[in-house]
């Protein structure tokens, strides 16, 4: 019996599901038992989901493969797969649930910020289209009749096309981003890293994101008692985050030659600027695992702060654009009138 395609399996309240799953596992429930209790509450096709989970587990699969079957993405699958090595799956899912909830809150806030100005911009474009097709021809005819055949300037219609131009620019940017993402997915992890770090703004954000992920999982593995080389090998061999696997592989090649991890990180451009300093301090104190976990929390706070600052800029930018459109509409009406007064 083939495994059900997870994309066709409806699943609701993913953040709440992860939170409940971590709570049940903290109470001592095994992963399959907790999933059996929760799946009927989060999907209408619970029987198919349970059958798929049974097939995966009986076939030697792990928790990450079960969650992948349910439609979860790499940001959930990657730490779950690593958690199965250090044995703290419940704690890992608790952290994932908190991060998932924060991400959903940011996305919800972004939607609430954008819905009003975007709707207003679309309405403005529709009104300007009506204005161009109905009012402008009549105004142009009136100006021509009053000028008694003299040549003069008509209504500057180009001023009324600013909303159309703005929407076209946004659509072009969205299309370009979608095509770039599709192109990026087809590239090897090493090329993805090279392409992303070259992008302005995005490159810095991706370095923070990769450093946060790598620090969290590497620190957790080291804190659980694994050696540095063993932890890097596990990160290299995991299958749900190719970029982190490539980063771990590059660091492992450096470390196995006897180079300290801090110096290995300095030799690569994919890490945050202060990552090597934190690692060096952890190496000096003998608490590298704990230092990396603390550094991961610090980077997470930094990423969230940058996201909040970006959200604060978006809505005022849209309102400025709409104000420019309104001023342009006034100019489109007043300029012909001003020219007409001087010709009378």
Does residue 115 sit within a domain?
Answer: yes
- Which own/partner pairs from 103-112 qualify as long-range (CB within 8 Å, at least 24 positions apart)? 103/75, 104/15, 106/304, 106/307, 106/311, 109/311, 110/311, 110/314
Does residue 190 sit within a domain?
Answer: yes
226/234 Cα distance (integer angstroms):
10
In the chain, % of residues over pLDDT 90: 27
Mean pLDDT of 250-278: 90
pLDDT of 151 above 70: no
Considering the domain architecture, whether residues 27 and 167 belong to the same structural domain is answered as: no
pLDDT in tens, 188-232: 999 999 999 999 888 999 999 999 989 988 988 888 888 899 999
User: Model-level pTM greater than 0.85?
Assistant: no
pLDDT at 5: 47
Confidence of residue 280 (pLDDT cuts 50, 70, 90): very high
pLDDT at 160: 74
Considering the domain architecture, whether residues 289 and 337 belong to the same structural domain is answered as: yes
Mean pLDDT of 144-157: 58
Q: What separation, in Å, do the N-terminal and C-terminal C-alpha atoms of the chain show?
A: 86
pLDDT at 3: 42
Per-residue buried b or exposed e for 189-210, using 16+ beta carbons within 10 Å of the residue's own CB: eeebbebbbeeeeebeebbbbb
Considering the domain architecture, whether residues 131 and 30 belong to the same structural domain is answered as: no
pLDDT of 4 above 50: no
Considering the domain architecture, whether residues 248 and 297 belong to the same structural domain is answered as: yes
pLDDT in tens, 81-107: 888 877 778 888 888 888 778 777 777
pLDDT at 94: 85
pLDDT of 299 above 50: yes
Does residue 263 sit within a domain?
Answer: yes
Count of structural domains within the chain = 2
Across 86-95, 147-156, 244-253, the highest mean pLDDT is recorded for 244-253
Considering the domain architecture, whether residues 122 and 58 belong to the same structural domain is answered as: no
**CB 41, CB 123: distance < 8 Å:** no
């Amino acid at each position: 019996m083939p495994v059900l395609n997870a994309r066709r399996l409806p699943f609701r309240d993913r953040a709440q599901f992860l939170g409940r799953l971590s709570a049940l596992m903290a109470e001592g429930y095994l992963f399959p038992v907790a999933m059996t209790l929760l799946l009927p509450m989060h999907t209408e096709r619970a029987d198919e989901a349970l059958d798929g989970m049974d097939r995966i587990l009986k076939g030697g699969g792990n928790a990450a493969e079960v969650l992948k079957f349910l439609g979860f993405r790499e940001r959930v699958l990657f730490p779950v797969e690593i958690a199965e090595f250090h044995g703290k799956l419940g704690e890992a899912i608790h952290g994932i649930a908190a991060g998932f909830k924060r991400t959903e809150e940011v996305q919800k806030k972004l939607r609430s910020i954008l819905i009003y100005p975007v709707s207003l911009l679309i309405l403005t474009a529709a009104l300007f289209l009506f204005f161009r097709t109905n009012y402008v021809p009549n105004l142009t005819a009136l100006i021509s009749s009053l000028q008694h055949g003299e040549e003069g300037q008509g209504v500057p219609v180009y001023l009324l096309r600013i909303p159309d131009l703005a929407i076209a620019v946004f659509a072009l940017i969205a299309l370009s981003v979608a095509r770039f993402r599709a192109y990026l997915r087809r590239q090897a992890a090493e090329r993805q890293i090279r392409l992303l770090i070259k992008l302005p703004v995005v490159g810095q954000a991706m370095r923070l994101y990769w450093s946060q992920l790598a620090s969290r999982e590497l620190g957790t593995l080291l804190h659980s008692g694994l050696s540095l080389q063993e932890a890097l090998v596990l990160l290299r061999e995991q299958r749900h985050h190719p970029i982190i696997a490539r980063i771990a592989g590059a660091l492992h090649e450096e470390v196995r030659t006897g180079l300290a991890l801090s110096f290995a990180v300095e030799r690569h451009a994919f890490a945050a600027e202060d990552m090597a300093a934190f690692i060096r301090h952890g190496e000096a104190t003998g608490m590298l695992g704990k230092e990396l976990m603390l550094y991961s929390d610090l980077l997470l706070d930094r990423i969230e702060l940058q996201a909040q600052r970006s959200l604060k800029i978006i809505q005022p930018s849209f309102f400025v654009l709409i104000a420019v459109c309104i001023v342009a509409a006034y100019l489109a009406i007043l300029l012909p009138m001003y020219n007409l007064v001087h010709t009378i």
